[in-house]
Each structure stands twice: as structure tokens, then as C-alpha cells.
Amino acid sequence: MKISLRAALIVSAIALAACAQKDGTDMGTGSDQFGTGGFENGGISSSALDPASTEYFAQTVGDRVLFPVDQSSLTADARLILDGQVAWLQRNGSYQIVIEGHADEQGTREYNVALGARRANAVKEYLVSQGVDASRLRTVSYGKERPISVCSSETCYSQNRRAVTALRGAGS
């Protein structure tokens, strides 16, 4: 009884590790450093992400860019990510795209809606300038209404000041 409980804990610990790995940035390589043989019965499976999938876009290409406080201009890091988005969007031309602009909670509601719109538009303009068909793109702003990180300090705020390139179904 004791032993089997411990075994179950080990299995779930490894399962958690595998899950954590799934969110990592090197997914899609197909490598499996955990030697999953023997754990298949635990419901763990591993496979490379389809490079044409929305998961691949979100996790490997990177679906979001971050902004400094009260700014909507694109940083060098943001442009790198957006260049990757352009390449992917060109290869996967059937997706319609909504760019969602967001703000952190340090600001009044209406202003943050307008600020999020600026951020979304900055991304849209960059994607179009790099060749993405403007008719595939729409923007929306959620202002401070949809935080993904909920602490009230810069570690969270920096994650919330974002523009997310959301894929909305294959249009073809």
C-alpha cells in the first residue's frame, strides 16, 4: 500500500514535469528527454507540435509582444517576435487575425482601452509593413480588463502590457 502510493506520487511528479516541459520554448523538436517508455500507461504522450498549428504559433513563434509603461512603440525584442509571426502567417495564409491590445492596471479604464488600441495598432501596422495582408487583420483593445498576471507589481504588469496576435479560425 505504502509502496504503491509512493509509486503513484512519482508517476504524477514526472507527469507534472512533462507538463511543465510542454510549455517550454523548445517544443516541437520531438526530443523526449524523459524517456517516456513505461509511463505511457500514466496517460503521458509526447509528440512534436504541428508547425502549422495554432499551438505552435502561440508557443514556438510567440503570439505576444510586451510594451514598456504607457508606451505603444515596438521594442527590438517585439520586432523579432513579430518577424517570426510574419513568416508564420505568410506560410499559413488561411488564418484571420485579431490583434488584442492590453494594458496593466495602473491607469484609468477609458485611457487603458485607448492605450491598448494603440498597442494593437502598432502590431498591426508592423505586420502589414512586413507583408501580411491587411484584410486578414483586425484590432481590439481590452484595456486593463483581461490581465493574465494578477499581482500588483511590475513582474505582473510587464506581462499584462501586451499585444496578442490571436488566430481566429482558418478562413479558407
Partner 1 sequence: MLFRIFFAVCILAWGAVVSAAPLKLEINQGVIEPVPFAVPAFVPETSGAEGMAQDLAQVVAADLLGTGLFREIPQSAFVGAITSFSSPVQFSDWKVVNAQVLISGAVSIEGSNITVKFRIYDVFAGNELGSGMRFSGQVSGWRRMAHKISDAVYSRITGEAGYFDSRIVFVSESGTKSARKKSLAIMDYDGANVQYLTNDNDLVLAPRFSPTGDRILYTSYETGFPRIYLLEVNGLRKRALQDQPGTMSFAPRFSPDGQSVVYSLERNGNTDLYEMNLASGQMRQLSNAPSIETAPSYSPDGTQIVFESDRSGTQQIYVMDRAGGTPKRISFGDGRYGTPVWSPRGDMIAFTKQNKGRFHIGVMRTDGSEERLLTASFLDEGPTWSPNGRVIMFTRETQGASGVARLYSVDVSGRNLKPVPTPGGGSDPAWSPLGR
Least distance from partner 1 to the Cβ atom of residue 118, Å? 5
Q: Which of residues 103-142 bind partner 1 (CB under 8 A)?
A: 105-111, 113-115, 117-118, 120-122, 124-125, 138-142
Residue 58 in grid coordinates:
502561440
62 lies in the binding site for partner 1 (CB under 8 A): no
CB of 86 to partner 1, least distance (A): 19
Name which of 10 and 134 has its Cβ closer to partner 1: 134
Contacts of 88 (CB under 8 A, 6+ apart): 56, 57, 61
For the bound state, the minimum distance from the C-beta of residue 101 to partner 1, rounded and expressed in Å, comes to 9
Euclidean distance between the first and the last CA atom of the chain, given in angstroms as a whole number: 56
CB-wise, 73 or 90, nearer to partner 1?
Answer: 73
Phi, psi dihedral angles at 78 (to 5 degrees): -65, -40
Number of residues that bind partner 1 (CB under 8 A): 32
- Under the criterion CB under 8 A, does residue 72 sit at the interface with partner 1? yes
Q: What is the 3-state secondary structure of 24-88?
A: CCCCCCCCCCCCCCCCHHHCCCCCCCCCCCHHHHHHHHHCEEECCCCCCCCCHHHHHHHHHHHHH
165 is a site residue for partner 1 (CB under 8 A): no
Q: How far is CA 17 from CA 3, 24, 34, 164, 172, in A?
A: 21, 11, 9, 27, 38
Distance in Å, CB of 161 to partner 1, minimum: 15
Q: Provide, rounded to whole angstroms, the least separation between the CB of residue 111 and partner 1.
A: 5
Q: How many CB atoms lie within 10 A of CB 150?
A: 9
Which residues form the interface with partner 1 (CB under 8 A)?
72, 98, 105-111, 113-115, 117-118, 120-122, 124-125, 138-142, 145-152
